[in-house]
Amino acid sequence: MSLMFTGIGVSRGIAIGDAYLLRRNQIDVTSRSLSKKSVPVEIRRLKRALKIARQQLLDTRDNIPKDAPTDVSSFIETHILMLDDDALSQRPIEIIKAELINAEAALQKQREELGRVFGSMEDSYLATRIDDVNHVIDSVLRALDGGAEPVVGSENWKGQIIVADDLTPADTVAMQHHGVAGFVTETGGQLSHTAILARSLGIPAIVGVSNIRRYVKAGEILTLDGNAGMVLAEPTAEMLTNFKRRQKETRLQQKELGKLIDTDAITLDGVALKLSANIEIEDDLKALKRVNANGVGLYRTEFLYMNRPTIPTEQEHYKVYTKVVRALKGETLTIRTADLGADKQLSGSAAAASAVASRPLSHNPAMGLRGIRLCLSETHLFIPQLRAILRASAKGSIRMLIPMLTNISEVEQCLQLVEQVKQKLRAENIAFDEKMPVGAMIEVPAAAISAHLFAERLDFLSIGTNDLIQYTLAIDRIDDQVNYLYDPLHPAVLHLIKMIIEAGKAAGIPVAMCGEMAGDVRYVRILLGLGLTDFSMPPNLILETKKTLIAARRATVKKQVIALMATAHTPEERHRILDKINSVTAK
């Protein structure tokens, strides 16, 4: 009998293969009391486990194929850095000493403490951080239990669909190496590390399929639809034939996308579009060039501050920015100033070097001292970056984007700081672009409603939909209990986006979108109908987005979006209209 399961499709594609159930032994974290005399032995045991876990990650990193996307190695590097961080390398030792308990129990206590901290956050990177912490701690616990548990049978993975509770970055690297057809996990969300890696590696994947391992048997035929988030176990002959046909069509479509690299991004009714890339590290430039993106619409700079013993210097910032802007060869680089806070906290010596370390921990960091709030509070963190951005602007086309703005007074403070830095650079006879554009990241409902005021004072606006949607709907989309409420088509969300776009038009300044919605082909025509023509997204989504948009007529889509906002009062009604909008293809 065929069984159907639904989850969250996080990586597109059709997969057909036998089910491989990946199970791991339960990790024992039972607390045991220690005598003071045995504490040094237990600490040595923990340190040895940390060393083993670290070496395993280094081995995994060394085995990553050279042509693998940068996301793969970056996740492994993140885990290595976490193992070196005081939160895992020192704090459990302190717990062992203070509470006289074994290493497993100390690690579990630290896991629970970190879970409480991360659990109060609503930042869009939260799921990845929680997953990373748990996977790193689990790797140390397994090392304490005699070594990491090997993934048995991985040499037989080729062509199979892996079914698991969750997957580590090392598992995912192994999957690419062994040629799995796809995977399904019981946990995870759109922004979990598993989802991000699956998209980077092009592995069809579905996450959040609760309890699937209870019903699926090893060796059963599975079909996986990463677009619809649907898994079929033991499909009928007719179903299987249909899936094979769709799988072939999907592969042909991927090949066809490559033909769009040099195609102009223009709608059927002549509306010119700008499709730029979101990048974070230098290697992302390679992917950007492969798809012929229109520059960089969002350059995240938080990586410069993270997992390091000191705060980055002005010269460090400058070297990175100039290298990127030169590589763009005339295309524009939009640099977002440091969006620290929430899950992107300074730690160790870097935190100690700033006043941040002395501040009490926020109960809800996502709504606390983060983004521009932190930068304006700790200007010694902010000014070196401002100087570096301005200096780099003499080397190419650069725009500066300010995150997490909520009111005009913050805009004024930023512009005053920028002018002060400019005056000092002039006095030092250091070149910079006097007219370097400064823009606002509109990601807070208050800023969206006041967008006309921001547009009067700034040179451009950029919409950050990840936080805007979550703040507007008061939900965390990676919380399994409420993520069903995450709805980019909610009337309130669409009205806010429309307000921002219209505010930019009225002031005669550009409006872009760099949130995840800008690269989601389900919604890009909706955005086109709202008036958006400037989209920024991960490089690997650009060609698919281009294909969707150039097959549309903005005039037609605009009428459909007006109808959606005026008459569709339920999610079901909105998705019916959405399906109609997306069903039209170029003739």
pLDDT score for 98: 93
Higher-pLDDT residue of 579 and 193 is: 579
Measured distance CA(406)–CA(446) in Å, rounded:
6
**Is 107 exposed, middle or buried, given 0-12, 13-18 or 19+ CB atoms closer than 10 A?**
buried
Distance from C-alpha of 78 to C-alpha of 408, rounded to nearest angstrom: 36
Residue that wins the pLDDT comparison between 223 and 118: 223
Task: Summarize the confidence of residues 470-481 as an average pLDDT.
Answer: 73
Residue 50 binned pLDDT confidence (cut-offs 50, 70, 90): very high
Residue 76's pLDDT is 77
pLDDT tens digit sequence for 263-281: 999 999 999 999 999 987 7
What average pLDDT does the segment 122-148 reach? 68
Please, what sign has the CA dihedral across residues 464, 468, 470, 471? Answer: positive
Structural domain boundaries in the chain: 3-23+155-257, 36-144, 261-355+364-583
Please state the length of the chain: 587
Q: What percent of the chain lies above the pLDDT cut of 90?
A: 53
Per-residue pLDDT, 344: 44
Higher pLDDT, 300 or 134: 300
User: Choosing from 79, 135, 193, 317, which is the catalytic residue?
Assistant: 193
Residue 368: its pLDDT value, please? Answer: 61
**372-400: average pLDDT:** 93
pTM: 0.70
| Topology annotation, domain 261-355+364-583 | TIM Barrel (3.20.20)
575 is catalytic: no
Q: Considering 79, 135, 317, 514, which one is annotated as catalytic? A: 514
- pLDDT on residue 251: 81
- What percent of the chain clears pLDDT 70, i.e. is strictly above it? 83
Instruction: Tell me how far apart the alpha carbons of residues 271 and 267 are, in angstroms, rounded to a whole number.
Output: 5
pLDDT score for 472: 92
Count of other CB atoms within 10 angstroms of residue 271: 18
61 compared with 394, residue with greater pLDDT: 394
pLDDT of residue 361: 47
Question: Which residue did the predictor score with more confidence, 152 or 491?
Answer: 491
- Write the CB contacts of 130 (distance below 8 Å, at least 6 apart in sequence): 115, 118
- Which pLDDT band holds residue 486 (cuts at 50, 70, 90)? confident
Among 152-156, 227-231, 300-304, which range has the highest average pLDDT? 227-231
Q: To which H or E segment does residue 534 belong? A: strand 534-537
3-23+155-257 is a CATH 3.30.450.20 domain: no
Rounded Cα distance between 547 and 341, Å, is: 37
Phi, psi of 477 (to 5 degrees): -70, -10
Residue 142's pLDDT band, with cuts at 50, 70 and 90, is confident
**pLDDT at residue number 507:** 98
SS3 (DSSP) at 63: coil
Residue 95 has pLDDT above 70, yes or no: yes
- pLDDT at 117 (0 to 100): 65
The side-by-side arrangement of strands in the sheet containing 230-233 is: 3-6, 230-233, 221-225, 14-22, 161-164, 182-185, 205-207, 8-11
Annotated catalytic, 193?
Answer: yes
Average pLDDT, the chain: 85
Kindly state the tokens that stand for 326.
Answer: 């030169």
Averaged pLDDT, 397-414: 94
Q: Residue 123 pLDDT > 50, yes or no? A: no
- What's the average model confidence in pLDDT over 331-358? 62
Find the range with the poorest average confidence among 46-50, 214-218, 250-254: 250-254
| Geometric angle at alpha carbon 69, from 66 and 72, rounded to 5° | 95
Least trusted range by pLDDT, from 98-107, 144-153, 413-422: 144-153
Q: Grade residue 315 by pLDDT with cuts at 50, 70 and 90.
A: very high
pLDDT at res. 341: 63
Weakest mean pLDDT among 83-87, 126-130, 255-259, 386-390: 126-130
Averaged pLDDT for residues 435-456: 96
Pick from 51-60, 210-219, 314-323, 364-373 the range whose average pLDDT is largest: 314-323
Nearest to 400 by CA among 384, 416, 386, 380: 386
Given a cut of 70, whether residue 442 has pLDDT beyond it is yes
Domain 36-144: which CATH number of 1.10.274.10, 1.20.120.1200, 1.10.10.920, 3.30.300.160: 1.10.274.10
